[in-house]
Amino acid sequence: MASAAEQLASNLNFGAFAKADELKKRIWFTLGALIIYRLGTYIPLPGMNPDAVADLFKQSQTGVLGLFNMFSGGAVGRLAIFALAIMPYISASIIVQLLSSVIPTFEALKKEGEQGRKILNQYTRYLTLVLAVFQAYGIGVGLQGSGNLVLEPGPFFLLSTTITLVGGTMFLLWLGEQITSRGIGNGTSMIIFSGIIAEFPSQLAQTLELGRQGAISTGLLLLILVMAICVIAFCVFMERAQRRLLINYPKRQVGNRMYEGQTSFLPLKLNTAGVIPPIFASSLLLLPTTIASFSQASGGTGVLSVIATYLAHGRPLFMVLYAALIIFFCFFYTAIVFNPVETADNLKKHGGFMPGIRPGERTAEHIDRVLTRITVLGAGYLTIVCLIPEFMITYAQIPIILLGGTSLLIVVTTTMDTVAQVHGHLLAHQYEGLVKKAKLRGAKR
């Protein structure tokens, strides 16, 4: 840990940071955008009874509704205008990526490069709008039928709730795109990250209060703290883990000069899919249970209540589906972001080869075999980390969602990606400074 801290300190040259005006502008823009997002999580939906909303959330904060509240940064618990957060966008992204692997038209767009990616992103936005309308209307119906939650039920409330929630989701989608292009980090991940971080103090206070009341022993509190630190360290280690494949380049002659052969590595991350699988898995589990949670909390009966019961935190069905979806999306997303055939063709074009393996098809098969094996480890790692809070809720009776699993994984991966981007901007700034100095020296001569 000490060496990692020293390496991070050496990477972040604070002298260079003070001179990097473009980087500082990006950081300030990101902070401003996230502040706007946080303010929106405190603006309630029109026509709601705040006291009844607080009572509703107290009864179901450890269930699926609590997980939804984590991703929305507390907006669900306050039934704010950003209560849907960007979950419809994540669901739409899943559907579009699935279609791009099945439908030839979408697959062709994916291969067209930047232009095709823009068209697919536009389709994703349209689908996000459709899903947001569906979910917002369902939430409005669920709220209206939940007793005294709504002050004045009726068609006007349904219309205003649907428009407000859909508008909040589309605004967050636009805000995330602005953070990605004009700020630091991935906009979608930064919005989820900021929501989780904002809820940490209240979760910590809740945990300490349970200890003060005697519901949790001091030893168990210390165990939770140690486990959280161990999970963070484990996530950092696994996210940095790589399998390097040796690549050799033969000798080459340029003019009358003979250049020696070079050796490099093809790095394959243990967790190529990153934090996408748990987010996708959570969003798919949240989609059919959003309305069901409101129905169950208000004492509803029928199919919706049965769904909410069996898909509650800590239930065997929830954990099995959650683990299965994480494993599926690990392999699915890895297949999307990394193409062994394309990589093998690029190596062959540039004269690179792996020792003992013929270039071309054999190289692609070898890369695919290695990638599959390390993806098994990556999927197991993600599954274990994400199921930790489920076992805590089930067996230790600890109502904690933020201090384990998915939330810590999102925080760790987003932090590492953001630090890497900051480091990249600093290196680019230093390189530009060296180029300017070289030009000045050339002009003086």
Structure tokens at 388: 């930790």
Tell me the angle at which helices 405-444 and 187-213 cross, rounded to the nearest 10 degrees: 140
Which residues have C-beta within 8 Å of that of residue 117, sequence separation ≥ 6?
A: 109, 110
The span from the CA of 90 to the CA of 106, in Å, is: 18
pLDDT on residue 129: 93
Q: Give the position of tokens 């494993």.
A: 327
pTM of the model: 0.77
Q: How far is residue 161 from each of residues 37, 83, 127, 131, 286, measured CA to CA in Å?
A: 19, 11, 19, 15, 19
pLDDT on residue 8: 43
Domain ranges of the chain: 22-215, 216-418
Q: How far is residue 206 from each of residues 107, 108, 193, 336, 408, measured CA to CA in Å?
A: 48, 51, 20, 41, 18
Structure tokens at 252: 């080459």
Structure tokens at 271: 């967790």
Q: What is the CATH number of domain 22-215?
A: 1.10.3370.10
Which residues have C-beta within 8 Å of that of residue 138, sequence separation ≥ 6?
A: 290, 291
Q: Where are the alpha helices (DSSP H) in 287-315?
A: 290-297, 303-310
List, in sequence order, every beta strand (DSSP E) within 262-349. 262-269
Structure tokens at 85: 């957060």
The span from the CA of 9 to the CA of 355, in Å, is: 37
CATH superfamily, with its number, for domain 216-418 = SecY subunit domain (1.10.3370.10)
Q: Do 22-215 and 216-418 show the same overall fold?
A: yes
Tell me the angle at which helices 361-395 and 405-444 cross, rounded to the nearest 10 degrees: 130
The tens-digit pLDDT sequence of the chain (445 residues) is 444 444 444 444 556 666 677 888 888 999 999 999 999 888 888 887 777 776 666 655 555 556 666 667 667 777 788 888 888 888 888 788 878 877 888 778 877 777 888 888 899 999 999 999 988 887 788 777 766 777 778 888 889 889 999 999 999 999 999 998 888 888 888 888 888 888 777 777 777 777 777 777 777 778 778 887 888 888 888 888 888 888 887 766 555 665 566 788 888 888 888 878 887 787 777 666 655 555 544 455 566 666 666 766 667 788 888 889 999 989 988 888 888 888 888 888 877 888 888 888 888 898 899 999 999 999 999 998 888 777 776 666 665 555 556 777 888 888 888 888 888 777 776 666 666 666 666 666 6
Q: Do residues 293 and 65 touch, judged by C-beta distance below 8 A? A: yes
